[in-house]
Amino acid sequence: MADLVIPSLLETLYMVAFSTIFSLLLGFPLGILLVVTEKENIWEKPKFNQILNSIINVLRSFPFLILMIVIFPLSTLLVGKSIGTTATIVPLSVAAAPFVARVIEGSLKEVDKGVIELSLSMGATTPQIISKVLIPEAMPSIILGVTLTIINIIGYSAMAGAIGGGGLGDLAIRYGHYRRETDVMIASVVIIVIMVQSIQYLGNTLSAKINKK
Amino acid sequence: MTKRINCIIISSKLNKKNSYQEWWRVRPYETRQPVNNKVPIPASKSIDERGTAASFIERFFLCKILRGDLMIRIQNIYKEFSNGKEKLTAVKNINLNIKQGEIFGIIGLSGAGKSTLIRCINRLEEPTRGQIFIDEVDITNLDKETLRITRKDIGMIFQHFNLLSQKTVYDNIAFSLHLSKMDKNKIKQRVDQLLKYVGLEDKKYSYPATLSGGQKQRVAIARAIANNPKVLLSDEGTSALDPQTTKSILSLLNKIRKELGITIVMITHQMEVVKEICDKAAIMENGEIVETNTVENLFREPKTKTAHKFINSMHTSVEEEIINPDDFKGKIVRLSFLGKTTRKAIVSQVIKVFNIDINILSGNINKLQSRSVGHLILELTGDELEVEKALNYFKNQDVTVEVI
């Protein structure tokens, strides 16, 4: 069984790791934009904010399976195929990016308005406020948000397995469900549960450790 | 140089005493734009005709002389908030002149608009109308970028300190220096110097969460003066602190004013703060300034009801309102002394000279920034004429008398 589970685990780790990176790259700036372009914030652009908000809402409300199918052409364009572990990274990243944007938005909004006011009173530029105040002050909360994102992507990646994404989800469905090999099913589920638990634990610990508040 | 300036003053027929107001009247409104963001050109011909670099410098000094080194000039400032249909005027027609090196208090109850006013000074709040000059730069007329740079000259401290919670005391103080992209070694030197100045050397690597309120405000003050600002704004800077800590923070602010010559504007609702360190104070009510005076005169002769209330709020022992003149046979008077008269035995002299009885109902002495102000509430009984004479005697001794 190990020869079945280990490659699938590696596939899952590969998918989750890269999807996390890409979704953060996409979602982090969006999250920042959501906050700073808000009314009465440091880079007020209400129209832009409204449009960005709607786009993110639409993307967020897309059921993941459907999004994946819709995105097949994009996956083909980017990685040359629409099925397989690497190809799945594309819909996973796209699906998780708006989630990341919301998570980051939430974290940044927790930052005390007074601190931003202070930065303004000291003559900080908008980029300086973002990089020296907003992000560092929100860091403990951002780490928890990223943890949440990774766990979400693990869940999505299991689903992606159902349409040829590979990984533990794929294993659980093909062997565990279709071939009724319950032990494989149990093994995959247990591994996923352990993964989620340990990531949550790591995230909580790290966040608490860096939080000086 | 001095001679030439004198000559200019004479030639432009400016009366030196109130030359500052005169000066503005001479110039048409349109020319009130700062030249190179520094000095407005007076309209007087003798100056304008020259138009050389040398005369520019002269103009600069001329302005300084005429204005008596004003650091902040607030002119007709209005701030309106519109919330859909409703329009709220938070600040109405404010005019203030604050001298260089002065500690100026603005006192008022919450909602009086004082916080909005101080935030207009560095344009954290955009004034709807009016002008604010800081060191002769029209703040209200600056574009965003120039404003940002000018703000480095205006330090600010807040009621809730607004420290960066994820940064050490060191990094908090270094914050504004980092923003100015100062050299790392220089930052280190400057921060160490500031830590010493505010007495927090041992807390260099602590995080704000581990500090007491007073220590937090010291960090905030160090951070605010790191860039050597001209002006320090304090928005209820001591309101979250206990009386003991408030005193120590106030004496730190006083030290800053004395040693660094920084002009300080303080917003507060505590008369104790004004009493302790302010030179002048303005009393705000419903968005307007109802009274401006030196703190001594404010304590001695408060003109408005609000001022009375604030001063009385300090007299914890006996509230004036409690004393009802109808309960007493004699005449109830309130005496206010200033400075030297607080040390004279005036009351006993009056008893000796005039044939009246004096009953002391309440009294106190408040130590102000430079002098002390005393209040006494007395009941005078005896012949009406004698009482009248006694009151006149008090008045002649430079005591303010008020019959309640």
Contacts of residue B207 in chain A, CB cutoff 8 Å?
A: 212
Are B137 and B206 in the same domain? yes
Are B241 and B119 in the same domain? yes
pLDDT, greater one: B327 or A184: A184
Longest dimension (CA), chain A: 66
- Residue B71 pLDDT class (50, 70, 90 cuts): very high
- Residue B72 pLDDT class (50, 70, 90 cuts): very high
**CB atoms A212 and B209 under 8 Å:** yes
Contacts of residue B122 in chain A, CB cutoff 8 Å?
A: 121
Q: To probe the interface with B, which of A39, A119, A121, A139 has the most B CB atoms within 10 Å?
A: A121
Average pLDDT, chain B: 82
Residue B63 within a domain: yes
Are B196 and B270 in the same domain? yes
Are B295 and B394 in the same domain? no
Are B10 and B49 in contact by the 8 Å Cβ rule? The answer is no
Q: Is B180 exposed, middle or buried (0-12, 13-18, 19+ CB in 10 A)?
A: middle
Longest dimension (CA), chain B: 79
Residue B99, strand partner residues: B70
Tens-place pLDDT, residues A58-117: 999 988 888 888 888 999 999 988 888 999 999 999 999 999 999 999 999 999 999 999
Nearest CA-CA distance, residue A32 and chain B, Å: 19
Contacts of residue A178, defined as CB under 8 A and 6 or more positions apart, other chains included, come to none
Are B224 and B292 in the same domain? yes
DSSP label of B377: E
The terminus-to-terminus CA distance of chain B in angstroms comes to 56
**CB atoms B167 and A136 under 8 Å:** yes
Site of tokens 């008369």:
B271
Q: Which residue of A has its CA nearest to B118?
A: A121
Contacts of residue A119 in chain B, CB cutoff 8 Å?
A: 175, 179
pTM of the model: 0.79
CA pair distance B340, B114, nearest whole angstrom: 33
Residue B222 lies in domain: 71-299
**CB atoms B209 and A121 under 8 Å:** no
Average pLDDT for B338-344:
73
A positions 104-123 inside 8 Å of B (CB): 112, 114-115, 117-123
Angstrom distances, CA of residue A3 to CA of A10, A147, A190, B99: 11, 29, 16, 82
- Tell me whether strands B231-235 and B154-158 are parallel, antiparallel or unpaired: parallel
**CB atoms A122 and B227 under 8 Å:** yes
**CB atoms A123 and B162 under 8 Å:** no
Average pLDDT, chain A: 93
Residue B289, strand partner residues: B284
Residue B27 within a domain: yes
Tens-place pLDDT, residues B223-259: 999 999 999 999 999 999 998 999 999 999 999 999 9
Residue B68 has pLDDT above 80, yes or no: no
Look at residues B265, B299, B333 and tell me which one is the last residue of a structural domain: B299
**CB atoms A120 and B149 under 8 Å:** no
Q: To probe the interface with A, which of B145, B166, B171 has the most A CB atoms within 10 Å?
A: B166
**Residue B173 has which token pair?**
């103080």
**CB atoms B162 and A115 under 8 Å:** yes
Of A118, A132, A137, the CB nearest to B158: A118
Looking at residue A194, its pLDDT comes to 96
Are B295 and B331 in the same domain? no
Are B103 and B179 in the same domain? yes
Residue B309 within a domain: no
Of B166, B227, B233, the CB nearest to A212: B166
Q: Which residue of B has its CA nearest to A124?
A: B179
Element counts in chain B: helices (H) and strands (E): 15, 14
Please give, one letter per residue, the 3-state secondary structure of B129-142. Answer: EEEEEECCEEHHHC
- Tell me whether strands B372-382 and B331-338 are parallel, antiparallel or unpaired: antiparallel
Residue B399 has pLDDT above 90, yes or no: no
pLDDT > 70 fraction of chain B, expressed in percent and rounded: 80
CA pair distance B157, B159, nearest whole angstrom: 7
Looking at residue B153, its pLDDT comes to 94
Nearest CA-CA distance, residue B302 and chain A, Å: 34
SS3 content of chain B, % helix, strand, coil (to 5): 45, 25, 30
Are B194 and B222 in contact by the 8 Å Cβ rule? The answer is yes
Look at residues B240, B266, B299 and tell me which one is the last residue of a structural domain: B299
Domain count, chain A: 1
Site of tokens 């869940």:
A155
Site of tokens 């011909």:
B45
Residue B100 has pLDDT above 70, yes or no: yes
Residue A119 has pLDDT above 70, yes or no: yes
CATH of the domain at B370: 3.30.70.260
If phi > 0 it is left, if psi is from -120 to 50 it is alpha, else beta; for residue B135 that is left
Range with the largest mean pLDDT of A47-56, B57-66, B319-328: A47-56
Average pLDDT for B19-42:
40
Residue B255 within a domain: yes
**Residue B379 has which token pair?**
């009941």
Site of tokens 């993964």:
A195
**Residue A41 has which token pair?**
């914030």
Look at residues B267, B299, B331 and tell me which one is the last residue of a structural domain: B299
Q: CA B52, B139, B218 angle in degrees (round to 5)?
A: 120
- Residue A135 pLDDT class (50, 70, 90 cuts): very high
Contacts of residue B178 in chain A, CB cutoff 8 Å?
A: 132
**Residue B307 has which token pair?**
């001022």
Looking at residue B58, its pLDDT comes to 58
Residue A172 lies in domain: 2-210
Residue B382, strand partner residues: B356
pLDDT > 90 fraction of chain B, expressed in percent and rounded: 51
CA atoms within 13 A on the CB side of B395: 10
Tens-place pLDDT, residues B162-182: 999 999 999 999 999 999 999
Residue B26 has pLDDT above 50, yes or no: no
Are B338 and B229 in the same domain? no
Are B268 and B352 in the same domain? no
**CB atoms B166 and A137 under 8 Å:** yes
Contacts of residue B233 in chain A, CB cutoff 8 Å?
A: 121
Amino acid at B104: F
Looking at residue B168, its pLDDT comes to 96
Q: How many CB atoms lie within 10 A of CB B346?
A: 19
Residue B284 has pLDDT above 50, yes or no: yes
**Residue A23 has which token pair?**
């979704």
CA pair distance B306, B285, nearest whole angstrom: 8
Looking at residue B315, its pLDDT comes to 60
Angstrom distances, CA of residue A106 to CA of A109, A126, A134, A196, A203: 5, 19, 12, 22, 17
**CB atoms B166 and A114 under 8 Å:** no
Looking at residue B56, its pLDDT comes to 59
CATH of the domain at A180: 1.10.3720.10
Are B215 and B336 in the same domain? no
Are B76 and B51 in the same domain? no
Domain count, chain B: 3
CB of A2 within 8 Å of a chain B CB? The answer is no
Show contacts of B41-49: CB within 8 Å, 24+ apart: B42/B12, B44/B8, B44/B11, B44/B12, B46/B8, B46/B11, B46/B12, B47/B8, B47/B12
Amino acid at B316: T
Are B278 and B369 in contact by the 8 Å Cβ rule? The answer is yes
Are B326 and B353 in the same domain? yes
**CB atoms A136 and B122 under 8 Å:** no
Q: To probe the interface with B, which of A43, A107, A116, A122 has the most B CB atoms within 10 Å?
A: A122
**Residue B403 has which token pair?**
């019959």
CB of A50 within 8 Å of a chain B CB? The answer is no
- Residue A161 pLDDT class (50, 70, 90 cuts): confident
CA pair distance B46, A172, nearest whole angstrom: 94
Q: Is B114 exposed, middle or buried (0-12, 13-18, 19+ CB in 10 A)?
A: buried
